[in-house]
Homo-oligomer: A and B are copies of this chain.
Amino acid sequence: MIANFRSDNETPVAPAIMQAILDANHGTAWAYADDDWSKRLNGVFSELFRTETVALPVPTGTVANSIALATVTPPWGSVFCHTGAHIYGDESGAPEFFGNGLRLVPVAGKNGKLTPDALGQAVKAVEGHGVHSYEPTVLSITQATEAGTVYSIDEVKALCDTAHGLGMHTHMDGARFGNAIAGLGCHPAEVTSEAGIDMLSFGASKNGCMAAEALLFFNHPQRYATAERLRKRSGHLFSKMRYVSAQLLAYIEDDRWLNMARHANHQAAKFAEAIEAHAEAQLEYPVHANEVFLKWTKQGFDHLESRGIQFGLWPGRDDLARFVFGHSTSDEEVDLLVRSLG
């Protein structure tokens, strides 16, 4: 038996999502997001986030993040994010590309999280130079973080208050937003639209969809015009957008997104418990969602591999590995993993 914990990016499409794609596949439909599925998105997401929301269906998190940032940031504006943020380390400069040379400013923080203090200091460090320096424009935080932790509602509120106080917009990269909400057990609006988040990359691909994310703008419907141009100009305005939007509708419907995320989190929690009970192996970060960072020995990792466990060592580290649990991770796979840990 082989059990793959490399990434939720490698999981298949969930049956209910695939069924929605099949259901959408009848007859012709207006092209370029003028179809009936796409037209329902604003309403569905406005309801889900309890405020006026404009939703753009896009296929990847990278494009959702990049359009969000470029919509509000001039080329001479900067975006503050965690040193480990996906936008900083994993998108090959997509935000800089969409934003015509905007700058990302990395800020360090424990357990993958930024703090209001660290943000304030980082902004202060580049101030006072007028036209000679970048203009701090956006705070972008990741929920769940790249360390597998989750910001509390109060943490998000405090960060948004600080950012807004500095005249900045706020963006949340929600590539694993479902896992974060499943971890928090709160209403999705509480930690976003109602906590001061202006824009959300609402991820779905990692959690059961094929290639679907919703870029959400809260309370600023006029941002649609710029975002729509950026989507078109980057080649992301699909002619047959119905198949993307149908995924998103099915994903939201009946709390499927939360149920799938809860399952993934639950599987991660079982492994986290096993590590905590282990004599040698340790958790690098608290486990709040569906990712577990295991600090262990080379021998330990070799042993896991020999048992058919697939995972990735962290770049630049030989004592750290990441295990990601998905909507399709089975009990048998987790059992094998836990038993193999010893």
Task: Spell out A's residues near B (CB within 8 Å).
Answer: 4, 6-7, 9-13, 18, 21-22, 25-32, 58-60, 62-64, 66, 74-76, 89-94, 96-97, 99-104, 124-129, 131-134, 205-206, 210-211, 226, 228-229, 232-240, 243-244, 315-316, 328
Contact = CB atoms under 8 A, between A and B. Distances in A.
5 contacts: A12-B28, A63-B234, A75-B93, A94-B232, A234-B234
A136 to B, nearest CB: 13
Contacts of A240: 9-10, 13, 205, 210-211
Which of A28, A30, A91, A94 counts the most chain B CB atoms within 10 A?
Answer: A28
Contacts of A104: 103
B316 A124 contact: yes
A125 B32 CA distance: 22
B60 A238 contact: yes
Q: Which 10 A-B pairs have the closest CB atoms?
A: A63-B235, A96-B101, A9-B239, A128-B315, A9-B31, A62-B235, A10-B28, A100-B100, A4-B28, A92-B232
Given A92-B232, A131-B232, A31 B60 contact: no
Given A233-B76, A234-B235, A315 B131 contact: no
A73 to B, nearest CB: 11
A31 B132 CA distance: 12
B232 A60 contact: no
Nearest to A329: B28
A9 B241 CA distance: 10
A316 B125 contact: yes
A28 B11 contact: yes
Contacts of A100: 75, 97, 100-101
